[in-house]
Amino acid sequence: QSALTQPASVSGSPGQSITISCTGTSSDVGGYNYVSWYQQHPGKAPKLMIYEVSNRPSGVPDRFSGSKSGNAASLTISGLQAEDEADYYCSSYTSSSTVVFGGGTKLTVL
């Protein structure tokens, strides 16, 4: 049950676009379309931003989008805003019928 691999940090200026990668294996990310993305502000509970690779829950701005290719998934945030500054985590269902998270990526809005 190794954690999915995410970059430790990314940054961007307001209005720009950024992409956060999430790399797994054929036993998790590559094997199922059950990749999710979460946003977590300091001291708060995580919030679901993307489910099933590319679907947005109601209320999540369409600036957030997700995709997958092979064993890697990506979260793209376009039109970056100050309030997007947070930690982001990917997760995936696995062949062991478990869930695995990525190590998290700190997004800084410059």
Cα of 7 vs its chain's centroid, Å = 11
Q: What is the dihedral of CA 42, 9, 51, 14, to 10 degrees?
A: 80
How near is the Cβ of 58 to another protein at its closest, in Å? 10
Burial class (CB in 10 A: 0-12, 13-18, 19+), 95: exposed
Binding window for another protein (CB under 8 A); candidates: 16-24, 47-55, 71-79: 47-55
Between 12 and 102, name the residue whose CB sits nearer to another protein: 102
Piece in contact with another protein (CB under 8 A), picked from 9-17, 19-27, 34-42, 74-82 = 34-42
| 103 touching another protein, by CB under 8 A | yes
The bridge status of strand 72-77 relative to strand 86-93 is unpaired
Backbone phi and psi for residue 25, each to the nearest 5 degrees, phi listed first: -135, 180
93 Cβ contact list (under 8 Å, min separation 6): 28, 32, 34, 99
* 108 contacts another protein (rule: CB under 8 A): no
Site string for another protein, 56-95 (x = CB under 8 A): -x-----------------------------x-x-xxx--
Residue numbers of the site for another protein (CB under 8 A)? 1, 3, 32, 34, 36, 38, 40, 45-48, 51-52, 57, 87, 89, 91-93, 96-104
